[in-house]
């Protein structure tokens, strides 16, 4: 199942499929390691609900909901992970 | 001398390495062009001394942030003999992303694999030899903190600097490899240096490169038009970034073997983070930390111990009650003098104790001794006056602000070093976005409470030009350490003179801090709605792992700060103090005036001239004959905020000598560190009202900051025009704020007039932005 990063619940993880957004934001997302194939875990939301904190390539990154909307991921859970292997 | 540049991600230990390598030789200067703090120093343990240049911490060499452009231009244009790329071993993939970009430049390069100890502590392993083989450049394991491997690193770097290196790329397996190759050959043909780097940036469509290589562009575009990737289409920037990370994952990441198979294992840092950015506790914890910082720096009632003692009906005895003071209120012996710096009925906070020791036991003692020598030297009266009253008193006043500035700076450095500062931005981003800023602009703003100068320099972490301008402009409203004495002195005097000595002066001080914050918010909203309109900048920010702050780094920070301040005290502030003394002791005919003739002085004349301008602010014409003292102090404050109160002291002494202030004692005014007596003397001389005094501090808080800050703003803002408008902005804001405070304080009903005016302005801006109102500006003839 694919969905954008902002729709993730805390503790959910997935693999980046595509990154959209306007030039500057997209470039920044790329530079920080959010490229197709990268694994992302949504760790938490800030006390006021936004921004989000994720783990990507072994470190913590914060980004806003509007920026998270640019990132499309393939959700990784037990069932879909199993299917992907086959 | 050979030059080695340090390049790496923010937070990879670059500063620590720099400090370890250069030791005491480090000094801070400015970059040519865009002014950003540049640090360089000398490493002496190689075959010959080597200059070490600390480049700004960066993630990439994109054209979007000023630091990245600076680092890139330095390597391309200044051609260092070797680039030492520091790689944080705990965060290998992202750090190597920058490495792959520097590799493309024709510059000798070594990798310093830092924080290996942290990796090994987790039980993970990195095969440095294998990484070296795959990268094709030397890799040295170091620990910048423990100073391990530095000699080997520098020897390797020195060795490399003798060789030539051609740029190499990790993009050779990507579908655009041949395109890059062709552009590179074309650029080489034009004798462009670093052809590979420029070729890749051109293919990416990098703004700066496109501008630089206009003639090659049609060729690149032609190549590009025939190309269409199945995943990325014609998004070359994405293709390149993806190509780098793919290569890193495939060839470099495997050198790391993790002990735990769990991809997202929780560390100690994660557990700390769970509490500190907790949904419910996060904001309260932040407020408590902020309160603690200010409490530990400024409170004379440490942890409210004496308040608790009063509640328990067993108040702590004062020194007088203990019989430790003489009849004149002086400590009975040297030991008691030390005790008095810590305790007098209440226990002082550490910041206050440091302040007392510095002012009473060190500076006070030393300057008193020097003044005694000068008085006994038999010099001419005017020379003794200039030295003792002009220079030494002025310097003493300035140096007395060093402890609070440093204490605040120490706390902020701890927050920054520990990684909590980034979390503050994370917690508060939502709130700041409302004002059109990102949570990141919070860092420089709160640093403004310590000193505007480092705060303004810190704004270069903001990628968005408009956000940066807005932040630089409002930083001075976050009342800095040097403005605090103005607040405490005037607030103390208000309580003493108008409230009969009972009341809470701190409340006035806090209220003024709050006023500064409110003015800042209003101004940001106003600017973002009018002159600095734009999208809210992105907030894609690394949250570094928490770690204990390093004592050595903190001390290096503080030492930098102290040096800067002392330099300022002995140059610009000393010069202005002398200038003021001269201007108050010479008339327009350059005749030397005795203290009692101050009314005839040049400065009095000038201040009288502009005094009427300040009437709407409550310290203008209504104050009568000596009203110009406030104008003069405000003007002196433009040179350095520390001058405001020291000017009061000088003027107080002059007025006493002139017989204007019967019952006042010049020595008592000078002896009073708080400056309260100086302000009381001014109140007695002018009959200024409370609203006038509050307006005076509000004006000083929001007006043009000290010269050091103005200079920083000028270089940080870059454009001349933008800087000029910033000066106009500061004057306009302070005048308006002063007028609002005074009129509402004096006549409460004017509140409605100001509210109506504010509503009208808001409506106008809202409607104007919606396009409902159109302004017709007469077009300028060309």
- CATH architecture of the domain with range B171-257: Orthogonal Bundle (1.10)
DSSP H helices, B434-573, are: 442-447, 452-458, 465-474, 484-498, 505-529, 551-568
Contacts of A29 in chain B (CB under 8 A): 540
Comparing CB atoms, the residue among A30, A50, A58 nearest residue B91 is: A58
Map residue B475 onto helix, strand or coil.
helix
Residue B548 CA to residue B551 CA, distance in Å, equals: 9
Q: Is the pLDDT of residue B649 over 70?
A: yes
What pLDDT is stored for residue A80 in this prediction? 47
Around Cβ B13, how many Cβ atoms within 10 Å? Answer: 24
The two structure tokens encoding residue B606: 């000038």
What pLDDT is stored for residue A13 in this prediction? 92
Report the pLDDT averaged over residues B219-247. 81
Report the pLDDT averaged over residues B619-644. 82
Q: Is the pLDDT of residue B284 over 60?
A: yes
Mutate to test the interface with B, among A11, A21, A62, A69 (most CBs of B within 10 A): A62
What pLDDT is stored for residue B121 in this prediction? 84
Query: For residue A17, what is the enclosing H or E element?
Result: strand A13-19
- Which one, of B374, B341, B344, B382, lies nearest residue B359 by Cα? B341
Provide the CATH number for the domain around residue A18.
2.30.30.90
Q: Is the pLDDT of residue B468 over 60?
A: yes
Percentage of the residues of chain B whose pLDDT score is greater than 70: 93
**Domain range B2-161, CATH class:** alpha beta
Query: For residue B39, what is the enclosing H or E element?
Result: strand B37-43
Q: What is the CA radius of gyration of chain A?
A: 12
Contacts of A54 in chain B (CB under 8 A): none
Q: Is the pLDDT of residue B336 over 60?
A: yes
Separation of CA B684 from chain center: 38
Comparing CB atoms, the residue among B231, B264, B427 nearest residue A36 is: B231
Residue A56 CA to residue B98 CA, distance in Å, equals: 16
Interface ipTM? 0.90
Comparing CB atoms, the residue among B246, B249, B426 nearest residue A53 is: B426
Comparing CB atoms, the residue among A19, A51, A57 nearest residue B238 is: A19
Q: Could you list the residue range(s) of the whole structural domain that residue A72 is in?
A: 2-85
What pTM value is reported for the model? Answer: 0.79
The gap between the terminal CA atoms of chain B, to the nearest Å, is 53
What pLDDT is stored for residue B779 in this prediction? 57
- Which one, of B358, B732, B667, lies nearest residue B531 by Cα? B732
Count structural domains, chain A. Answer: 1
Structural domain spans, chain B: 2-161, 171-257, 290-378
Cis peptide bond prior to B9, omega within 30° of 0 = no
Among A51-60, B22-31, B199-208, the range scoring the smallest mean pLDDT is: B22-31
Query: For residue B82, what is the enclosing H or E element?
Result: strand B82-88
Any CB–CB contact under 8 A between A81 and chain B?
no
Q: Does A67 contact B90 at a Cβ distance shorter than 8 Å? A: no
The answer to whether B175 and B148 have CB atoms below 8 angstroms apart is no
A30 secondary structure, DSSP code: H
Work out the burial of residue B372: count CB atoms within 10 Å of its CB; fewer than 13 is exposed, 13-18 middle, 19 or more buried. Answer: exposed
Residue B127 CA to residue B509 CA, distance in Å, equals: 58
DSSP H helices, B400-483, are: 402-418, 420-433, 442-447, 452-458, 465-474
Mutate to test the interface with A, among B241, B254, B287 (most CBs of A within 10 A): B241
Around Cβ B60, how many Cβ atoms within 10 Å? Answer: 23
Measured between CA atoms, the residue of chain A closest to residue B58 is A31
- Which one, of B596, B575, B574, B598, lies nearest residue B586 by Cα? B598
């Amino acid at each position: 199942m694919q969905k954008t990063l902002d729709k993730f619940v805390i503790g959910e993880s997935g693999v980046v499929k595509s990154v959209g957004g306007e030039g500057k934001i997209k470039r920044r997302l790329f530079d920080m390691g959010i490229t197709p194939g990268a694994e992302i875990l949504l760790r938490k939301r800030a006390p006021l609900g936004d921004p989000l904190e994720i783990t990507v390539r072994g470190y913590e990154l914060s980004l806003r909901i509007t920026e998270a909307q640019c990132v499309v991921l393939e959700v990784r859970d037990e069932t879909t992970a199993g299917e992907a292997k086959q | 001398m050979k030059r080695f540049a340090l390049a790496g991600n923010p937070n990879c230990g670059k500063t620590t390495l720099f400090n370890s390598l250069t030791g005491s030789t480090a000094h801070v200067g400015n970059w040519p062009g865009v002014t950003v703090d540049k640090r360089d120093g000398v490493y002496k343990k190689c075959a010959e001394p080597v200059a070490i240049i600390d480049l700004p911490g960066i993630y990439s060499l994109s054209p979007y942030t000023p630091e990245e452009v600076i680092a890139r231009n330095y390597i391309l244009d200044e051609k260092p003999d070797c680039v030492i790329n520091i790689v944080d071993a705990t965060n290998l993939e992202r750090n190597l992303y920058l490495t792959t970009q520097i590799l493309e430049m024709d510059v000798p390069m070594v990798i310093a694999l830092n924080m290996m100890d942290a990796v090994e502590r987790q039980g993970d392993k990195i095969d440095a030899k294998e990484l070296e083989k795959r990268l094709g450049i030397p890799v040295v394991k170091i620990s910048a903190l423990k100073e391990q491997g530095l000699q080997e690193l520098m020897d390797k770097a020195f060795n490399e600097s003798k060789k030539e290196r051609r740029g190499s790329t990790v993009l050779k397996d990507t579908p655009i490899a041949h395109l890059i190759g062709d552009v590179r050959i074309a650029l080489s043909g034009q004798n462009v240096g670093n052809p590979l780097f420029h070729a890749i940036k051109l293919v990416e469509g990098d703004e700066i490169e496109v501008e630089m290589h206009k003639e090659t562009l049609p060729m690149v575009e032609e190549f590009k038009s025939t190309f269409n990737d199945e995943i990325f289409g014609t998004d070359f920037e994405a293709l390149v970034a993806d190509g780098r990370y793919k290569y890193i994952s495939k060839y470099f990441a495997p050198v790391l073997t993790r002990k735990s198979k769990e991809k997202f294992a929780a560390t100690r840092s994660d557990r700390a983070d769970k509490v500190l950015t907790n949904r419910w506790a996060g904001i309260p914890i932040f407020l408590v930390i902020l309160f603690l910082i200010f409490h530990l720096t400024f409170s004379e009632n440490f942890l409210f111990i004496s308040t608790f003692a009063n509640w328990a009906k067993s108040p702590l005895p004062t020194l007088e009650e203990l019989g430790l003071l003489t009849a004149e209120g002086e400590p009975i012996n040297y030991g008691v003098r030390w005790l008095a710096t810590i305790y007098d009925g209440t226990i002082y906070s550490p910041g206050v104790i440091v302040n007392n020791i510095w002012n009473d036991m060190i500076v006070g003692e030393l300057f008193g001794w020097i003044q005694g020598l000068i008085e006994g030297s038999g010099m001419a009266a005017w020379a003794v006056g200039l030295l003792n009253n002009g220079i030494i008193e002025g310097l003493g006043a300035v140096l007395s602000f060093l402890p609070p500035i440093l204490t605040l700076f120490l706390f902020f450095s701890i927050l920054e070093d520990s990684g909590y500062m980034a979390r503050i931005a994370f917690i508060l981003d939502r709130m700041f976005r409302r004002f059109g800023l990102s949570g990141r602009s919070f860092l420089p703003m709160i640093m403004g409470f310590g000193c505007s100068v480092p705060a303004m320099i810190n704004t270069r972490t903001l990628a968005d030009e408009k956000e940066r301008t807005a932040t630089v402009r409002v930083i001075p409203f976050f009342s800095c350490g040097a403005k605090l004495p103005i607040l405490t002195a005037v607030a103390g005097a208000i309580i003493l003179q108008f409230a009969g000595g009972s009341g809470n002066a701190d409340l006035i001080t806090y209220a003024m801090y709050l006023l500064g914050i409110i003015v800042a918010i209003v101004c940001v909203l106003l600017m973002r709605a009018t002159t600095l309109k734009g999208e809210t900048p992105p907030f894609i920010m690394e949250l570094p792992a928490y770690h204990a702050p390093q004592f050595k780094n903190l001390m290096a920070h503080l030492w930098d700060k102290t040096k800067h301040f002392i330099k300022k005290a002995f140059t610009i502030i000393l010069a202005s103090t002398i200038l003021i003394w001269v201007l108050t002791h010479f008339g327009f005919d350059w005749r030397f005036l005795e203290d009692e003739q101050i009314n005839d002085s040049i400065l009095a004349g000038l201040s009288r001239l502009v005094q009427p301008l300040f009437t709407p602010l409550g310290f203008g014409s209504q104050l009568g004959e000596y009203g110009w003292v406030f104008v003069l102090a405000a003007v002196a404050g433009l040179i350095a905020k520390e001058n405001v109160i020291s000017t009061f002291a000088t003027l107080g002494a002059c007025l006493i000598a002139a017989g204007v202030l019967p019952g006042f004692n010049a020595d008592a005014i000078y002896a009073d560190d708080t400056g309260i007596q100086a302000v009381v003397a001014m109140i007695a001389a002018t009959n200024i009202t409370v609203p006038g005094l509050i307006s005076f501090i509000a004006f000083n808080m929001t007006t043009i900051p000290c010269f050091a800050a103005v200079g920083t703003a000028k270089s940080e803002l870059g454009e001349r025009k933008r800087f000029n408008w910033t000066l106009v902005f500061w004057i306009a804001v302070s005048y308006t704020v002063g007028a609002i405070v005074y009129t509402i304080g004096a006549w409460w009903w004017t509140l409605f007039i100001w509210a109506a005016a504010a509503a009208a302005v808001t409506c106008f801006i809202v409607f104007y932005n919606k396009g409902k109102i159109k302004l017709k500006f007469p077009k300028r003839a060309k």
